[in-house]
Amino acid sequence: MACKVNKETEQQLFFHNYARLPLAITHGKGVYLYSADGTPYLDMISGIGVNALGYGDSRIVGAISQQAAKVIHASNLFMLEPQFRLAEKLLEISGLSKVFFANSGTEAVEAAIKLSRKWASLSGQNDKKEILSLSNCFHGRTYGAMSLTAKAQYLDGFEPLLPATGNVNFNDIDDLAAKVGDKTAAVFVEFIQGEGGIHVVSSDFIEALKTLQEKHGFLIVADEIQAGCGRTGKFFSYMHFDVNPDLICLAKPLGGGLPLSAVIGNEKVRDVFTAGNHGTTFGGNPVACAAGLALVNAIYEDNLMEQAAETGEWIKHALEKLAAKHSQIQEIRQYGLMIGITVNREASYYVQEALKRKVLVNATSRNVVRLLPPFTTSREEAQQCIDCLDEVFSEET
């Protein structure tokens, strides 16, 4: 008997981790997802920032098929060409020295936490253990990553958290100066916060961070899990600023839709990890790495970073026109194709109303409608989203 894919069955089968939309998807094409009856839904969230090329890109599909026919998994006991080729590409882009592959953003953050503390330990400073992050951030849901994530909704009931972790108030230079010190091993920074509602770190804060790093000797870790791989118009969001991080955490779009993440480190940390210090059974899976290389090559071949910047700017201007019409819109924040629309009520309302009109958007940070469209989104498709939002705001009661 066929399994019924609906909310009732979902409640029976799964732990209640997700507030799923009442929509069963069968396939995708371009920037559209399709339900069982063939109805297309414009996807302006792209798998929460994963599907940078949309759905069904022939280069991604071809790379997956070709590698799967050779070997799907062999483990990190062996040297696998797709890993080598993707690692070379990431080091070329970043200018850094070494790569570690894992499966998800939170795993990348966990690896970076361990690497930071091991680096500090090797420096001979046994009390240099503290890992800091910024308020309103999101770094993941495993214990180390969750300990850096500064929102009560993710922490309540899971204490005690990882010791010697803490938060600096976002863009607060005085708080930064008060909290970092010689015991600080690393400061984790989302240069553009995604889950937090699309907020950018200020240039003054970054300059202060760099000055304090010179004084106290800690690592700067760039969390590029949502903002990386070209979404902001540059391959890494930190490239919009005058800063050179020691570590980069990368995930979401990296595997072309397959689970893949990376930690990329500079010369300072290149020799910190030794055999057995850290590892993963599935990280750097050859099929995922083949898809990842196809993704990165496509981003450059199709000038998709430039397209992301241009399309994002166009969407921003269109949203500004909506803001002039609709008082519900309080603020628009846009960096490439990371777009946040602050509204005067729970943003989940607009998610549900857009869904009725066959457009998929997302709610984050309670009152922010978030858009993370595929880089391949055309102006016509972007206009469809704008028309939908205009209608939703016009009909709100």
Domain layout of the chain by residue ranges: 78-301
Which pLDDT does position 3 carry in this prediction? 86
Question: Which pTM was predicted?
Answer: 0.96
Fold of 78-301: Aspartate Aminotransferase; domain 2 (3.40.640)
Which pLDDT does position 154 carry in this prediction? 87
Which pLDDT does position 397 carry in this prediction? 55
Which pLDDT does position 332 carry in this prediction? 98
Tens digit of each residue's pLDDT (9 = 90 or more) over 319-332: 999 999 999 999 99
Tens digit of each residue's pLDDT (9 = 90 or more) over 335-385: 999 999 999 999 999 999 999 999 999 999 999 999 999 999 999 999 999
Task: Pick out the chain residues at pLDDT < 50.
Answer: none
Those residues with Cβ within 8 angstroms of residue 93's Cβ, 6 or more apart along the chain or in another chain = 235, 236, 296
Q: Burial letters for 229-266: b for 16+ Cβ neighbours within 10 Å, e otherwise?
A: bbbbbbbbbbbbbebebbbbbbbbbbbbbbbbbbbbbb
Which pLDDT does position 1 carry in this prediction? 61
